[in-house]
Amino acid sequence: MPKIDLEVRKDINTNTPQEANPTSFAGLPTSFVAIEPCQSYSFEEVYQTIRQLFSHLGGLAQYVKSGDRVLLKPNMLAAQAPDKAIVTHPTVVEVVTRMVQELGGYPIIGDSPGGIVGGIQRYWDATGLTRIAKRTGAQLVSFETSKMFRCSSNGSQYYLTKILQQVDVIINLPKLKTHNLMLFTGAVKNMYGVLPGYQKTEFHKHAPHPQDFAKVLLDIYQLSRPHLHLMDAVVGMEGDGPSNGTPRPIGYLLASTDGVALDTIASYLIGFNPATLPTIREAKKRNLGQTKISSNVSTLQELKLNDFKLPSNFLLQIVPKPLVDIFKPLVWVRPKINEKECTRCKTCIRNCPVKAMRLDSDTLRIDYKMCIKCFCCSEICPAHAISLEKSWLVRLFVNS
CATH number of the domain that 321 lies in?
A: 3.30.70.20
Specify whether the CB–CB gap between 76 and 185 falls below 8 A. no
Q: What are phi and psi of 183, to 5 degrees?
A: 75, -45
Query: Helical H runs in 8-160?
Result: 43-56, 90-102, 120-126, 129-136
The pLDDT value given to residue 8: 37
Q: How many separate domains does the chain show?
A: 2
The pLDDT value given to residue 393: 76
Give the DSSP per-residue string, 68-117: -EEEEEE---SS--GGGSSS--HHHHHHHHHHHHHTT-EEEEEE--TT--
Closest CA to 35 of 171, 230, 277: 230
Q: What are phi and psi of 235, to 5 degrees?
A: -130, 120
Query: Domain containing 357: what range?
Result: 314-399
Specify whether the CB–CB gap between 193 and 113 falls below 8 A. yes
In a domain, residue 123? The reply is: yes
- Of 302, 324, 339, which closes a domain? 302
Same domain membership, residue 297 and residue 186: yes
In a domain, residue 119? The reply is: yes
- Measured from the Cβ of residue 298, the count of other Cβ atoms closer than 10 Å reads 7
Closest CA to 70 of 79, 61, 82: 61
Summarize pLDDT for 227-285 with one digit per residue, the tens: 999 999 999 999 999 999 999 999 999 999 999 999 999 999 999 999 999 999 999 99
The pLDDT value given to residue 34: 93
- Of 302, 324, 357, which closes a domain? 302
What residues have CB less than 8 Å from 329, skipping those under 6 apart?
none
In a domain, residue 319? The reply is: yes
The pLDDT value given to residue 400: 58
Distance between CA 170 and CA 6 in Å, rounded? 16
Query: In terms of C-beta density within 10 A (0-12 exposed, 13-18 middle, 19 or more buried), how is residue 23 classed?
Result: middle
Q: What are phi and psi of 114, to 5 degrees?
A: -75, 140
The phi-psi region of residue 225 (left if phi > 0; otherwise alpha if psi is between -120 and 50; otherwise beta) is: left
Q: What are phi and psi of 3, to 5 degrees?
A: -65, 155
Distance between CA 384 and CA 389 in Å, rounded? 14
Same domain membership, residue 378 and residue 328: yes
In a domain, residue 147? The reply is: yes
The pLDDT value given to residue 14: 38
Same domain membership, residue 108 and residue 193: yes
DSSP-assigned beta bridge partners for residue 154 = none
Same domain membership, residue 99 and residue 169: yes
- Of 277, 302, 327, which closes a domain? 302
Regions of the chain short of the pLDDT cut 70: 1-29, 115-118, 291-298, 315-321, 323-325, 327-328, 397-400
